[in-house]
Each structure stands twice: as structure tokens, then as C-alpha cells.
Amino acid sequence: MTRAIFIDRDGTINVDKDYLTDPDQLEFIDGSPEAVALANRLGLKVVVISNQSGVSRGIVTADQVDAVNARLIEMLEEKGARVDAIYYCPHHPKYGDAVQCTCRKPDIGMLLRAKAEFDIDLNASFVVGDKWSDVKCGENAGAFTSLVLTGYGESDYQRCIDGGIKIDYLAKNLYDSVTNFVRKKIENNN
């Protein structure tokens, strides 16, 4: 089975701009392309997972999300980094069709999809994000978790503590997480 790193998009890889609709507004958080490139060199499948409830809310269209994701892949490739897949959940329990889904983080539907497509060992994989729901998603899947202090990370840190959500590594940013946590776990065969 393969190991993967599941990375949240907004607030973790790129600056969170509240329902990003214009690919030209995409801006990396410092070190993010280098972190993804390092994950590639470590032999991890890199899978971006993102809640995009703006689709259900009518704030952003699926085509706009797809365009931003395509630009993200392009910009990462320009920096020598590769993403193997991007999955997003367009649902919200109170908006749109109010569907009960299993893909919205902290549920693990996006991780299960990647597991099926890439033969991923979730227990040996990593989930990195800036929100409690990212960390809880990783915990729910049995993966290693890292909360980054970019995006909503600083405010969601206390929410994780209060909710008893297990953070395996608290990181300054994605680069810190991959360099000082993910890489060391892999090098130590954990």
C-alpha cells in the first residue's frame, strides 16, 4: 500500500481569501510549493482535500472551484511540485440541497476515495490543515495529523484542545509540517 499526504487547500497551501473564485487571486503561503515538492521526493501521494461549501451556498460555482484547482496544479508544477489528485466537497448541511454527505470534513469520504484510487494506507498517511475539521478528519481516518498555524490555525488550535481532537504535530506552516514532522516520521519508518 502507498502512503499519502492529504493537504487542505485554503489556509494551508494558499492564502485563504474566503470563497476564492478567481484563479488569478491564488497566492501561496510561503514555503507551500517547496513542501509539496518535498512530499513528492519522499514518495508520498499528494492529495488536496477541501471543503467548498460556497458551491451549495451559491457563492461560487463548481466551474470556478475547478478553475482555481487547475491553476493551483499549474502554479505548483511551475515550482517543481506535483499534486496527484484534488478532491473537494461542495456540500453544506444547511444550504443548497442540504444533502447528508460523507465527503465533508471531518468525515473521511475524500480520503476513502483516494484510498480506493491509489491503494493508500490511511494509517500510515498524513492529514495537514488549518482547521479543526482537517485534524478531526485525519483522526477519524487513523492517520497522523498536523495543524498548521496559518489560515484559521491559530484560532482553531484552541477548538482542537477544547474538543479533545488529537494533534500529532503543531506546525508553523505546511513547510514546517512536511520538513519537521512528515519527513522525520518517514525517515524513522513510523
Distance, CA of 56 to CA of 144 (rounded, Å)? 30
Confidence of residue 143 (pLDDT cuts 50, 70, 90): very high
What percentage of the chain reaches a pLDDT higher than 70?
A: 98
Higher pLDDT: 91 or 137? It is: 137
From 1.10.1040.10, 1.10.630.10, 3.40.50.1000, 3.40.50.1820, which CATH number describes the 4-187 domain?
3.40.50.1000
Look up residue 177 and give its amino acid.
S
pLDDT tens-digit series, residues 30-47: 999 999 999 999 999 999
Please report the pLDDT score of residue 1 as a whole number: 81
Residue 145 and residue 122 in contact, taking contact as beta carbons nearer than 8 Å:
no
Q: Is the pTM of this model over 0.85?
A: yes
Buried-exposed string 45-56: b where 16+ CB fall within 10 A, e elsewhere: bbbbbbbbbbbb
Torsion over CA: 18, 167, 89, 110 (sign): positive
CB atoms within 10 A of CB 23: 16
Q: What mean pLDDT is reported for the chain?
A: 95
Please report the pLDDT score of residue 92 as a whole number: 83
* Mean pLDDT across 117-136: 98
* Mean pLDDT across 123-131: 98
Please report the pLDDT score of residue 136 as a whole number: 98
What residue segments make up the domains of the chain, in order of their start? Answer: 4-187
Please report the pLDDT score of residue 106 as a whole number: 97
pLDDT tens-digit series, residues 9-35: 999 999 999 899 999 999 999 999 999
pLDDT tens-digit series, residues 166-179: 999 999 999 999 99
- Which positions are catalytic? 8, 10
Pairing of strands 45-51, 4-8: parallel
SS3 content of the chain, % helix, strand, coil (to 5): 45, 20, 40
pLDDT tens-digit series, residues 59-100: 999 999 999 999 999 999 999 999 999 999 999 877 766 567
